[in-house]
Amino acid sequence: MIGESMLNSRPNGMPAYKKIQGAIIKRIESGQLKPGDTVDSERELAKIHKVSLMTARHALTALEREGLVQRRRGAGTFVAPPKIHFNKLTSFTEQMAGRSLTACSKVLSFGIVDNEQEVAARLALATDTRLLKVERLRIAADEPFAVETCYLPAEEYSGLTRAAVARGSLFSIIEGTYGIQLAYADEEMDATAAAPATANLLQVPRDEPLLRIRQLIYSTKGKAALYVLGLYRSDRHTLLVRRFR
Amino acid sequence: MIGESMLNSRPNGMPAYKKIQGAIIKRIESGQLKPGDTVDSERELAKIHKVSLMTARHALTALEREGLVQRRRGAGTFVAPPKIHFNKLTSFTEQMAGRSLTACSKVLSFGIVDNEQEVAARLALATDTRLLKVERLRIAADEPFAVETCYLPAEEYSGLTRAAVARGSLFSIIEGTYGIQLAYADEEMDATAAAPATANLLQVPRDEPLLRIRQLIYSTKGKAALYVLGLYRSDRHTLLVRRFR
DNA sequence: AAGTGGTCTAGACCACGGC
DNA sequence: CCGTGGTCTAGACCACTTC
């Protein structure tokens, strides 16, 4: 079989290891597999899906890094406790959908700026580059819980309207309409006190501690695609991350 | 050569892919490789280190997830900008050493508790389990910048003394003296206002916004090894994380 | 066209865990 | 002991970027 075209065994665009992941995720989400249950071993998965060991292994390794399963040498692979998908870059809309919360956003401002030098620098652009600046209030379960300010290079997203942003997820617009695949985000987190205007928007007292997150989101081409500054109500939002040794 | 013992090609315990990583890291840290420079390709690395493609590939893939290099299909692998080692679980001591800062700690308290039910629950232990509680003030560049409270199952770390904790890194004690390999940490981050006592320790005004991090650190066996609650001066510490889509 | 990373094969041996 | 994950081989084809 050596030398056989990959197209034969993979007519669509989905890699085999992702199919395997999908099958496992489905069994976890449907409740068929509960936390602590053993997942099919590498060898079993290889047989079931008719792939080599390395491919089955790749599927499990990636699932472990996403926190969905836990692997123990000599013992097996087990379903992890149902934590949030840490280390996974997801849009507000996607996150809320995952927790089955009613969520919406209100566009506070929408326009072009060309004098935000720090932001331009972070995006690795000339300091006078025209940037599209969008401020949005994020609301979940009828409570405001974050103010997010996004900056995008105006040239690359020409035609983007306030209405489009108000209607749907910014991520899906970028990935769908503009065909830019987002890859990862470097995030900087610290705490800050709510300024009067922000406090008012979030309906919290002045100087309330807020979680501040600055995201620099990159495309698969390694280019900075957008910059997001978020201020989160700490009583409604805690961030989860997994770090490896 | 099929079937040859692994021991022949790997007399010591270091896997080949880690050796390759080490060689690359060395060239980056010595300045021989600067940000943006191309790293040896998979095929070159395979030849140089006399390993198969999959092994060379494994080395580069892992380095990319640590943020050290950036890979672009069709183009090559490039040295990433010198960000902090996000997503890497490191001890305070290790972090400070990496930034060549003089760092020290002051042990504020050290003793056994058995009534911290929430902590015991997070460690997946009975609510009345005896826990070793260690409070420390972290100081960098002669400025206090964090208060950390660690909880460890007292039974598993019997013999641990206040003097030992004061002297060295808790991580190195756990991994060295007790032979427990730490694997990863799930961290929860939010913002909180400094209580009077905390503000005093950190030399900040009362109610100053602080970054609060709750770490649940796991061993390679998948067991919760310790719980750490940290309060960080936001003006001296921002957390960096990379999230993937 | 040449080179790169992404996916994949069909196996191998090792270290470890649980019975 | 047997099954598990961890490492590894010596290649293959594909999709993509750069020239």
Residue A244 maps to a domain: no
Is nucleic acid strand C under 7 Å from B219's C-beta? no
Distance CA B53, CA B44 (A): 9
Dihedral sign (CA A167, A168, A170, A173): negative
Q: Do A182 and B245 touch (CB under 8 A)?
A: yes
Is nucleic acid strand D under 7 Å from B172's C-beta? no
Residues B70-100: tens digit of each pLDDT = 999 999 999 998 877 677 888 888 888 777 7
Residue B95 maps to a domain: yes
Residue A107: enclosing H or E segment and its boundaries?
A: strand A103-113
pLDDT at A96: 81
Distance CA A234, CA A240 (A): 13
pLDDT at A99: 75
- Identify the band that residue B10 occupies on the pLDDT scale cut at 50, 70 and 90: very low
If asked whether residues B56 and B94 sit together in one domain, one would say no
pLDDT at A4: 42
Residue ranges in chain A assigned as alpha helix (H): 6-9, 16-29, 42-49, 53-65, 92-98, 117-122, 162-167, 170-172, 196-202
Contacts of B229 (CB under 8 A, 6+ apart): B148, B149, B212, B213, B214, B215
- Identify the band that residue B1 occupies on the pLDDT scale cut at 50, 70 and 90: very low
Mean pLDDT of A108-129: 93
If asked whether residues A133 and A177 sit together in one domain, one would say yes
For chain B residues 158-217, those near strand C by a CB cutoff of 7 A are none
If asked whether residues A155 and A215 sit together in one domain, one would say yes
Residue A94 maps to a domain: yes
Residues B38-57: tens digit of each pLDDT = 999 999 999 999 999 999 99
Contacts of A85 in chain B (CB under 8 A): none
pLDDT at B63 over 50: yes
What's the whole-number average pLDDT of chain B? 89
Q: Do B243 and A89 touch (CB under 8 A)?
A: yes
If asked whether residues B105 and B194 sit together in one domain, one would say yes
If asked whether residues A57 and A145 sit together in one domain, one would say no
pLDDT at B8 over 50: no
Residue B170 maps to a domain: yes
If asked whether residues A168 and A209 sit together in one domain, one would say yes
Is nucleic acid strand C under 7 Å from B70's C-beta? no
pLDDT at B226 over 60: yes
Lowest mean pLDDT among A235-239, B53-57, B192-196: A235-239
Q: Please say which residue of A55, A79, A103 terminates a domain.
A: A79
pLDDT at B217: 94
Lowest mean pLDDT among B1-5, B32-36, B178-182, B241-245: B1-5
Residues B25-38: tens digit of each pLDDT = 999 999 999 999 99
Number of C-beta neighbours around residue B113 at 10 A: 15
Mean pLDDT of B210-239: 92
What's the whole-number average pLDDT of chain A? 89
Distance from the Cα of A145 to chain B's closest Cα (Å) equals 13
Residue A46 maps to a domain: yes
If asked whether residues B10 and B120 sit together in one domain, one would say no
The 3-state DSSP class for residue A125 equals coil
Q: Please say which residue of A79, A110, A132 terminates a domain.
A: A79
pLDDT at A107: 96
Residue ranges in chain B assigned as alpha helix (H): 6-9, 16-29, 42-49, 53-65, 92-98, 117-122, 162-167, 170-172, 196-202
Supply the pTM of this predicted model.
0.90
**CATH no. for residue B218?**
3.40.1410.10
- Identify the band that residue B189 occupies on the pLDDT scale cut at 50, 70 and 90: very high
Contacts of B72 in chain A (CB under 8 A): 221-222
Q: Please say which residue of B79, B94, B120 terminates a domain.
A: B79
- Identify the band that residue A7 occupies on the pLDDT scale cut at 50, 70 and 90: very low
pLDDT at B138 over 80: yes
pLDDT at A71: 95
Distance CA A47, CA A41 (A): 10
pLDDT at A12 over 70: no
If asked whether residues A143 and A217 sit together in one domain, one would say yes
Percent of chain A scored above 90 by pLDDT?
Answer: 65
Residues A26-84: tens digit of each pLDDT = 999 999 999 999 999 999 999 999 999 999 999 999 999 999 999 999 999 999 988 77
- Looking only at the bridges linking them, the beta strands covering B38-39 and B76-79 are antiparallel
pLDDT at B219 over 80: yes
If asked whether residues B145 and B26 sit together in one domain, one would say no
Is nucleic acid strand C under 7 Å from B42's C-beta? yes
- Identify the band that residue B12 occupies on the pLDDT scale cut at 50, 70 and 90: low
Lowest mean pLDDT among A100-109, A215-224, B200-209: A100-109
**Closest residue in B to A240 (Cα–Cα):** B188
pLDDT at A102: 76
DSSP A180: P
If asked whether residues B150 and B199 sit together in one domain, one would say yes
Q: Which two tokens stand for residue A9?
A: 């065994």
pLDDT at B128 over 70: yes
Mean pLDDT of A217-245: 90
The 3-state DSSP class for residue B91 equals coil
Question: Rounded to 5 degrees, what are φ and ψ at A54?
Answer: -60, -35
Q: Range of A38's domain?
A: 2-79
pLDDT at B4: 43
If asked whether residues B104 and B120 sit together in one domain, one would say yes
Q: Which two tokens stand for residue A188?
A: 């900087």
> Could you say which nucleotides of strand D lie within 7 A of any protein CB atom?
3-18
User: What is the count of structural domains for chain B?
Assistant: 2
